[in-house]
A and B are shown apart, each in its own frame.
Chain A
């Protein structure tokens, strides 16, 4: 099995016809690197290249744990709690990185400057916490763009009715207010809905966060006190509430998470859907989606401050502070995120985090109009993408915020009450943890 993957990796490399970064042969001979990596079909294709790095450097990689993201996060927390950091390389994610401030080491002294410069600037900025570059991003970058049903905009009867009711031309929405108008216009419950949104946990908090930023507000102030109980915050939450009240979203949307949203759009019952790039293939797959052949993708719409929503995250690899062989571990992390690795990963669909690979991927898709449209929309959105607030209490704050957002949407509380409760709860959390 090992020789098979090694030879297939080498064959792929030969096929790409490019030399990998210079690796001195046998540089790390005799060293074993323990790694805890993320598992799952779309992440594991890259691991076939590990054998190639092993062959070049003489080191060995021992994958001690391969689990899905949430299980891995719990495992990291348990390791930190028990003080048993016996491993060197770990899978990381920009949304989770701030939770482990002491776990990972700064990669800047371990890597040449040109390596870091090859990545998209916004991604490196998101991977830097307190001046430390804690991870190198891999080609698993996520930001959301607007998928829509093309047929809705090619119907003259609809265009006329919309213009009469709303006073402007019906076109693919460029602002979130337009999305709201069009969603209400297109809805015909229970058979068809204008849009849908993530309704629980970090999903809804993230969507709320990006809308607050797009509307010119902040989630947290500079001292990490809650900043979302503002005009921008109320305007943002009102957007969710208005759509729910108008019946423009499925009533179960407050329980939806990513798989429900993906299946919803693929069932052909949703007009506009802000969603992640990984779904692009699924939405246009005749075996899986009723919306096949009718899917358009546009960059994420802008809020009232003229800013696009762009809540983004990416996976990457980090080296632990406790690692005994940091040079070797950094070399492995570099290898798994270099140009060839990213080209391999993004061939299957995920978005890259290196500028040169973006250009390569777009050039490759020139012959497929759907794929070209998808990439163009996501590249445009990626330019202004931003990560979650860099506080280790992001998830905990999210767990305090999202029930209040849900309460407002469902009508249990008013928007003002909900945001006040959420703000008080987050304020209490920050004080309890000594943030201020």
Chain B
């Protein structure tokens, strides 16, 4: 009787394979398949109705989809860069603190702890044009005598959403960069100071290159996280009014779960995945370049 002996590495990795298969691969394959069908959640028999590339053609030819796509790219770019700059600033300041640094580090993490839905509601209230905090403050201070429609005007609503998103997630950047700051060898920094560099020159030519790998890791992680900022936008504007703040996630979420048109939503999702891949590849390339230049790569 022949008994197949599986190599030990396969046996040990089997649980991981099974889990990945069940949780990642099979749903991915199923959603890819359903994007070629007319699948609707409320009529499950439609999963067998093959329509080929109809959904993809519809998505690619839909002006609303591309405008949401473009707006999402813009949001990602603006939010990520703002978060990085503010996070960097915060980390640099916290690193300088001598007394109570631990307390400050903990407090810095508070915004991260709030559920995005709650953040969405809070900022929706703050930016409400009639009873909201911001307009009432501006009017009381005499800075304006009109009700500024923060969540209605296309540009202002974008700013409002970016504010909410940056408020929630800057601390992630700050924590990651702070970790990087602590890992920097102090000798080059001291040497630069002794040689007469200004603080800005020290930062620009010594500290920053060391921090770049951490910054790129943070950017790569956050670019995927920001891509899930569905809750905040859905609560604050739901992609409106008149599609002015429509992002990929509000569009796909509404199509898939509210309209129950899962096949079409999956097709849009796969087109949007290209976006995630592009961002990740970009940051990963930058990361490896930075690491090699520091001599950390292989």
Contact = CB atoms under 8 A, between A and B. Distances in A.
B131 A201 contact: no
A399 interface: yes
Contacts, number: 96
B169 interface: no
Nearest to B255: A399
Contacts of A403: 240-243
Contact of B241 (A196, A200, A260, A392): A200
Nearest to A77: B41
B257 A77 contact: yes
A384 interface: no
A200 B237 CA distance: 9
Nearest to A268: B131
Interface string A391-418: 0100110010011101101101000000
Grouping DSSP codes into helix (H, G, I), strand (E, B) and loop, the A interface class, with mixed when no group exceeds half, is helix
A248 to B, nearest CB: 13
Nearest to B148: A251
A190 B145 contact: yes
Contacts of A78: 41
A251 B152 CA distance: 8
Given A251-B152, A263-B131, A410 B260 contact: no
Contacts of B72: none
Interface string B245-257: 0000000001001
B260 A77 contact: yes
A120 B93 CA distance: 67
A269 interface: yes
B231 interface: no
A151 B147 CA distance: 24
A40 to B, nearest CB: 15
A83 interface: yes
Given A80-B41, A252-B147, A399-B258, A193 B130 contact: yes
Which bracket fits the contact residues of B?
20 to 34
B240 A399 contact: no
Interface string A193-222: 100100111000000000000000000000
Interface in B141-156: 145-147, 149-152
A80 B42 contact: yes
A406 B241 CA distance: 6
A15 to B, nearest CB: 39
**Interface-centre pick from B41, B128, B131, B259 (highest chain A CB count, 10 A):** B131
Contacts of A402: 240
B42 A251 contact: no
B220 interface: no
B22 to A, nearest CB: 15
Interface string B183-212: 000000000000000000000000000000
A254 B240 contact: yes
Contacts of B149: 251-252
Interface residues of A, number: 38
Contacts of B150: 252
Given A190-B135, A250-B130, A399 B254 contact: yes
A251 B128 CA distance: 10
B128 A260 contact: yes
Nearest to B144: A190
B240 A250 contact: no
Nearest to A410: B242
A100 interface: yes
Contacts of B240: 199-200, 254-255, 402-403, 406
A369 B237 CA distance: 39
Interface string A236-279: 00000000000000111011000010011001010000000000
A409 B149 CA distance: 14
A255 B147 contact: no
B241 A267 contact: no
Given A189-B147, A190-B146, A250-B129, A81 B242 contact: no
B42 A77 contact: yes
Nearest to A402: B240
Contact of A269 (B41, B130, B151): B130
Interface in B231-290: 236-238, 240-243, 254, 257-262
Contacts of B258: 395-396, 399
A290 B131 CA distance: 12
Contact of A392 (B42, B135, B145): B42
Contact of B131 (A83, A251, A269): A269
A83 B44 contact: yes
A269 B261 CA distance: 41
Interface string A92-106: 000000011000000
B139 interface: yes
18 contacts: A74-B257, A80-B44, A99-B260, A190-B146, A250-B147, A251-B129, A251-B147, A252-B149, A252-B150, A255-B151, A255-B152, A260-B128, A264-B131, A267-B130, A392-B42, A396-B259, A396-B261, A406-B241
Closest 4 CB pairs of A and B: A252-B129, A190-B147, A254-B241, A406-B242
Given A254-B240, A255-B151, 13 more contacts: A83-B44, A190-B145, A190-B147, A200-B240, A250-B147, A252-B150, A252-B151, A255-B241, A260-B124, A267-B130, A399-B254, A406-B241, A406-B242
